[in-house]
Structure 1
Amino acid sequence: MEETYPPYTKRPAIMVDIVIFTVADERLKVLLIKRGIPPFKGSYALPGGAVQIDTDQSLEDAAKRELFEETGVKNQYLEQLYTYGDPQRDPRGWTVSVAYFALVAADEIKLNAGTDAAEAFWYPIQGNQLKISLAFDHAHILQKAIERLRSKLDYTDIAVHLLSKEFTLSEFQRFSDLLELLQIKP
């Protein structure tokens, strides 16, 4: 029997948004999509989508599914970042987004625009932001993810997830120099 709810218990949609970082061309980059559908058709956004009640067993499963759909990568570093629930964050209606960030090695990625994306590409981060505007509240989400990444670089070894499985000593030294630059607050 299908459950029914009184009007006062209408629920917001649950989404996952993922900030996917990599290092390529000696720069920290983030994966962006160009939206292929409204709202914000033609605008840039972080990858993400709705939690699929029939297939996702958890919010993390939804994030992993979105990560795989956009990059072709499984089993990468994935961490819950924050929950965003401003009722005005999406013009389609009230959506709650559980944001994650992921770290992937550039050589393991096969970019693939997902179901609502016209294209997917890597965009370089400059300071704590991008030089382009993002749809929804994604600029704010990205800024929080950059802050979290920089903070975690100080006290964890998560940076290894940005390296290829095999690397040379000179590649590691250039990577170490880049990490030092990333830790400098703008």
Structure 2
Amino acid sequence: MTLTAAVPSGERNRVQNRAHVPLAVSTVIFALRPHPETGLSTLWLPLVRRIRDPFEGLWALPGGWVRADESLADAAARNLLETTHVRPAYLEQLYAFGDVDRSPTGRVVSVVYWALVRAEQIEREPEGENVRWVLADELPELAFDHNLIVEYALWRLRTKVEYSRIAQAFLGETFTLSELRHVHEAIRGVALDPANFRRQMLSGDALVVTDERVTGGRHRPPRLYRYDTSIELADNGPLPPYRPEGNRS
């Protein structure tokens, strides 16, 4: 006896309806860019303008439907590349948003990812009529529940930067402690005491001192550090970390 035959017709229809809930992905991508007024490094993210109903004309997060032959992470990376031309080095699943009334056209479940990119990756990608970078803490009204999604992503990033080496996603291979502190300040939105920050960073084993120093300054050149590459950007538990296409060794 099959499951379908054992279920009353009314209940069977409800089961079938639940099984066909559309699945989509959205991505919150963060980059550090100067604030237009203060010039301080600040979190920005890209939005795309919706060109059809529902919410035609409103801004939204990059996203789209999941294809049958791709993973969720690959779908998020593909949609991000198609809409913003950005290929992130770091991509992590954030949360699944599936409130029944989050879309006026019917039930849609969105698996949301968040990504981090360096400023030089976006500087060479000009904004278009339907793509715009905005301050993460000064969002307009967004389509669907995307304001809530960004709020959650910001909380996740600001929490995670305090106990992981995720800040490296905004830096080059080597960096000074001052550059690392500025990234932490930009993400957390607070000024940090340089001496305390230095002591905190050097008390662990994640940072590796190099033999290199910054050259060209008038003062004693600061030493360059790097992260221990045997440690992942963030603890992903038993799940494998996301590897960008073409770099999945």
2:72 corresponding residue in structure 1 = 59
Detail structure 1 runs of 4+ shifted over 4 Å in the superposition.
166-169
2:169 corresponding residue in structure 1 = 161
Residue 142 of structure 1 and its aligned partner are, at CA, apart by: 0.5
Matched, 1:125 2:131: no
User: Separation in 1 of the partners of 2:130 and 2:174?
Assistant: 30
2:157 corresponding residue in structure 1 = 149
User: Separation in 2 of the partners of 1:71 and 1:167?
Assistant: 27
1:68 corresponding residue in structure 2 = 81
* TM-score, reference length from structure 2: 0.61
Residue pair 1:35, 1:44 contacting (<8 A) in 2 also: yes
User: Separation in 1 of the partners of 2:133 and 2:189?
Assistant: 22
Larger Rg: 2
* TM-score, reference length from structure 1: 0.80
Q: Percent identity?
A: 38
Q: Provide, for residues 125-158 of structure 1, a one-character-per-residue CA deviation record: whole Å limited to 9, x for no partner.
A: 22xxx34111100011101100000011101111
Residue pair 1:34, 1:43 contacting (<8 A) in 2 also: yes
Pairing 1:4-153 to 2, within 5 Å after superposition = 7-8=13-14, 9-10=16-17, 11-25=20-34, 26-53=41-68, 55-56=69-70, 58-74=71-87, 76-109=89-122, 110=125, 119-126=130-137, 130-153=138-161
Residue 75 of structure 1 and its aligned partner are, at CA, apart by: 5.0
Question: What is the identity, as a one-letter code, of the residue corresponding to 2:170?
Answer: L
Residue pair 2:88, 2:117 contacting (<8 A) in 1 also: no
2:178 corresponding residue in structure 1 = 173
Gaps of 5+ in 2: 1-11, 35-40, 191-249
Residues 144-153 or 72-81, more deviating: 72-81
User: Separation in 1 of the partners of 2:86 and 2:186?
Assistant: 27
Residue 167 of structure 1 and its aligned partner are, at CA, apart by: 7.6
Q: Provide, for residues 156-176 of structure 1, a one-character-per-residue CA deviation record: whole Å limited to 9, x for no partner.
A: 11111123x47875xx73562
Q: Tell me, what secondary structure is at the counterpart of 1:107?
A: helix
Distance 1:181 1:107, change over 3 A: closer
Query: What is the CA RMSD across the aligned residues, in angstroms?
Result: 2.6
Figure out how many residues of one structure are paired with residues of the other and give that number. 170
Distance 1:167 1:119, change over 3 A: farther
Q: Tell me, what secondary structure is at the counterpart of 2:162?
A: helix
Q: Which has the higher contact order (CA 8 A, sep 6+)?
A: 1
Distance 1:133 1:63, change over 3 A: same
Residue pair 1:17, 1:63 contacting (<8 A) in 2 also: yes
Distance 1:131 1:108, change over 3 A: closer
User: Separation in 1 of the partners of 2:26 and 2:45?
Assistant: 13
